[in-house]
Amino acid sequence: MDKIWGDHTMSYIQKGTVAFHKTCIALFFGGFTTFAIMYSTQPLLPEFSREFHISPTIASLSLSVTTIALSVSMLVVGSWSEVKGRKPLMIFSLFSASLLAVLTAFAPNFHFLLLFRILQGLVLAGLPAVAMAYLSEEIEPASLGIAMGLYISGNSVGGMSGRIIIGMLSDFFNWRVALGSIGILSILASLLFWYLLPDSKHFQPRSLDVGKLLKSMTNHLKDPGLLCLYGIGFFLMGSFVTLFNYIGFQLIAPPYSLSQTIVGWIFLIYFVGTFSSTWMGRLADKHGRRHILWIALVTMASGAAITLSAPLVLKILGIAIFTFGFFGSHSLASSWVAHWAIHDKAQASSLYLFFYYAGSSIGGTAGGTLWSAFGWGGVISLILGFLLLAFVLSIRLSTIALDVLQ
């Protein structure tokens, strides 16, 4: 398929071609690598507490410092790719993060581990901040949906399988072998990404205008509707990471006494999110975003409350319901950002991701304090508080949306 841009005819990658298959497979491996590395320490928090003699709150920093570094880096990396190019930046991101993952396995103490994890967060931003821009430039619009879907599936599969692999390897060997193995797998996936991804044909370098970038972000932060969406993203991810950060502490302790392997396999629950994000998206198209977002938030809260039950079956059911609601809520909120922003949509989305991952860092760490003081009930209290605030913001957002329409 050819498209006319000014006086130039440019060929775009079409579904069914070899280039399309290579692109989708490459971005799948890229998403896999990014999220396998990012969340690799989450199942290991009890191990870190035990080996380094630190509290669960301090152990959670191994994830929190990565996501906060990533959130800050994403604000500038997308714009930097406008200067340096999409593919080179993504390749640098994947290889440097993979090498750091290997180094993390040799960290002599927890301070060095945190240093490596901060550096990982800074370089990991290169793929999520740039991948969608690459796809939108190189793939024909009619095939863009399936390409985006495969990339996002790589994200979820990476986050899920990385946790499972980590749980099993740390059980059979130790956490160092587990992290080192993820690093080696990531290097192999990065090589495939480099080999398979076609070079950019439609990328046109631009100069970095810092003043324009700051003005764009400032304008978005003055928009009350976007601020509500950013706050919702903050509380959603804060709730989600908090639950999965500390559920392992409870499940490996009596009366459950589960192994790290079994706890790792609980992350298969992520599969329900693949269904809920698309299903709730279709419902939102039919019934409106605000009503479906309210239902999704109530679903999350209900699932969180069910995890307070003692029977393991009910606890797992609660986690599944909570996860179902989370992926639906996040899908609705993130798509609403793109719909709401009239101009500079990329910067609007970058700010959403900044608040989203900031919620992961702040909520995930704060949950440790409540776990140490009040146990699982304290963790769920924080989550329910976050979701209540998200619900209040969603009501405020609906009011603003109605005012705009009038």
> How does pLDDT run across 208-217, given as a tens digit for each residue?
667 777 787 7
pLDDT confidence of 3, banded at 50, 70, 90?
very low
User: Any idea how long the chain is?
Assistant: 406
Cα distance between residue 153 and residue 66, in whole Å:
21
Cα distance between residue 356 and residue 345, in whole Å:
16
Alpha carbon 314 to chain centroid, angstroms: 26
Cα angle 297-372-44, degrees, rounded to a multiple of 5: 80
* Domains in the chain, CATH or no CATH each: 13-202 (1.20.1250.20), 209-406 (1.20.1250.20)
DSSP 139: B
> How does pLDDT run across 172-188, given as a tens digit for each residue?
899 999 999 999 999 99
Cα distance between residue 314 and residue 145, in whole Å:
36
Q: Longest C-alpha distance within the chain, in Å?
A: 71
Cα distance between residue 98 and residue 124, in whole Å:
9
> How does pLDDT run across 61-90, given as a tens digit for each residue?
999 999 999 988 988 876 776 666 788 889
Least confident of 242-256, 273-287, 347-361: 273-287
Q: Judging by beta carbons within 10 Å of its beta carbon (0-12, 13-18, 19+), is residue 285 exposed, middle or buried?
A: exposed
- Please give the mean pLDDT across all residues of the chain: 85
Question: Taking Cα atoms as reference points, which of 324, 328, 337 lies closest to residue 227?
Answer: 337
For the four alpha carbons of 164, 165, 169 and 175, in that order, the dihedral sign comes to negative
- As a whole number of Å, the end-to-end CA separation of the chain is 42
Cα angle 272-73-144, degrees, rounded to a multiple of 5: 50
